[in-house]
Every structure is written in C-alpha cells, then in structure tokens.
C-alpha cells in the first residue's frame, strides 16, 4: 500500500519535475533530444502475477530505467529501453515445508510473497495514432538478478518474524516476453504516461516437471525526457544584407 501511494504521488509530482528539468539539464546538458531522438527516464508501477501458479495474487512494486526513442517517420519509431530494476513475482503463496521442526511450525500460517528482480531490455516498435497517442509492441528479454520467497509471520506481535528463502538457483536466468504499450504524450511538457502489458512466454521454473509458470505484469509507466530540444536560433535582422 505504501509503495502504491508513493508511485501515485510521484506521478502527480512528475509534471512539475518534467517542466523544470533543471537538475537533469545541468548534469547532462540540453542537447540530448532532437526531432529524431529522445532519451529519458522510465518510472514504472508494476502489478506482477504468475500464471499457472495456484493461489498467486498480484504484487505491486516500483521499477526504474531509461529509454531512447528513434523517430523513423511521422508515424513510426523504435524505442529500446534498459530497465535497471524490473520487479515481478506474486503474493498469497502457500508456505513450503523445510523439514525443520523448529521453523516449520512458525511459518505454517505465514504470508508468502515471491519477489523476483530482473534487468530487462524491451524493444518497442511504436505507431503514432496521432501526435499525442501511440501504440507499441515488441520483444522483451529479462535477466534474473535476485529471487526469494519472503515469509512474514506472527510469533509474539504482528509480522514480527520475517524469513527469506533464496530460490534463484531453481529458476531460469532468462525470461522472454512480449510487451504491449499504449502511451499518451503531454504536448506541453513532453512527458509520457503509458499503460503496458507484459506477456511472459517462457517458464520461469528450471526443469519444471509440472505446468508452466510464467510472468504476467500490468504496468503504469511514466517517461520523463532528459534535457530539452535545441531551440532554433532566429536570424538577426541587423546582420542581414
């Protein structure tokens, strides 16, 4: 709940951030963007789920990365992204049994969340329906950097026991998917607000003997251009001959 509230707070404050762009311009200059190229920061709120896993509920987490948009024509553009933090996973899972007589009774009624973190590289092919609205789709590959089941249980007080089980060795390193993105661009400030669906194509479990378990994500994302377009210089009438 706190992360969800934080994301929507950042969403509301982003208009002012994108309007000023003072710090970004000082650090990176004002020549990053042009009529053919735009580079920016990507902020995302992910509601992740796991298809094929019984009892799995969606889990919310924040993601972060950068993007670059290459404009090929008035209608078509290509947008590769590099997401440093791409969270996935699910909540509401059933506790595992560890054959530990001291630990198992404490975790019997625990709340369990699978927390997966990836580095991800989506490449979107975008079609502009009008100057402000575009649709994009394309492949995405993710590399698993961490994976754990987090158990939260009550012993003496609410949620006073937290146990983390590293499950990375049992999962596949790479995750392949298709991404579908609907995006609206605010004309004055140039920021992008998008709705994205991530359709996992590969089983995340290594050597899975049962049914496939795949990532599935609904995302609200925000793109904030860095720097600004170079303004055209007006001709000096006094210098004209």
Has residue 129 been placed in a domain?
yes
Helix (H) or strand (E) holding 241: none
Has residue 101 been placed in a domain?
no
Strand partners, 122: 140
Phi and psi at residue 167, to the nearest 5°: -115, 10
Domain count, the chain: 1
Helix (H) or strand (E) holding 134: strand 133-153
Q: Are 83 and 120 in contact (CB under 8 A)?
A: yes
Where residue 25 falls among pLDDT bands split at 50, 70, 90?
Answer: very low
Has residue 74 been placed in a domain?
yes
**Predicted structure pTM score:** 0.80
Helices (H), the chain: 2-20, 22-28, 104-107
Has residue 82 been placed in a domain?
yes
Has residue 220 been placed in a domain?
no
> What confidence tens digit (pLDDT) does each residue in 45-103 have?
999 999 999 889 999 999 999 999 999 999 999 999 999 999 999 999 999 999 999 99
Give the chain's length.
241
Domain around 12:
2-46+60-95+118-138+174-196
Q: Are 133 and 183 in contact (CB under 8 A)?
A: yes
């Amino acid at each position: 709940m706190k992360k969800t509230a934080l994301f929507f707070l950042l969403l509301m404050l982003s208009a002012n951030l994108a309007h000023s762009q003072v710090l970004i311009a000082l650090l990176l200059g004002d020549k990053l963007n042009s009529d053919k190229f735009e580079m920016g920061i990507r902020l995302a709120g992910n509601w992740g789920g796991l298809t094929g896993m019984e009892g799995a509920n969606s889990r919310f987490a924040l993601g972060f990365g950068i993007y670059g948009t290459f404009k090929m024509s008035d209608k078509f553009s290509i947008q590769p992204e590099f997401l440093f933090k791409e969270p996935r996973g699910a909540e509401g899972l059933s506790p595992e049994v560890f054959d530990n007589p001291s630990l198992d009774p404490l975790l019997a009624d625990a709340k369990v969340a699978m927390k997966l973190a990836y580095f991800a590289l989506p490449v979107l092919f975008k079609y502009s329906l009008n100057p402000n609205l575009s649709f994009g789709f394309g492949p995405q590959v993710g590399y698993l950097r961490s994976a754990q089941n987090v158990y939260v249980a009550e012993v003496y007080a609410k949620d006073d026991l937290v146990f983390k089980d590293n499950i990375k060795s049992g999962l596949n390193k790479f995750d392949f998917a298709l991404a579908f993105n609907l995006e609206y661009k605010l004309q004055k400030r140039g920021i992008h607000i998008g709705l994205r669906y991530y359709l996992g194509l590969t089983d995340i479990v290594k050597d899975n003997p049962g049914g496939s378990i795949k990532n599935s994500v609904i995302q609200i994302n925000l793109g904030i251009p860095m720097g600004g377009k170079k303004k055209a210089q007006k001709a000096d009438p006094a210098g004209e001959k």
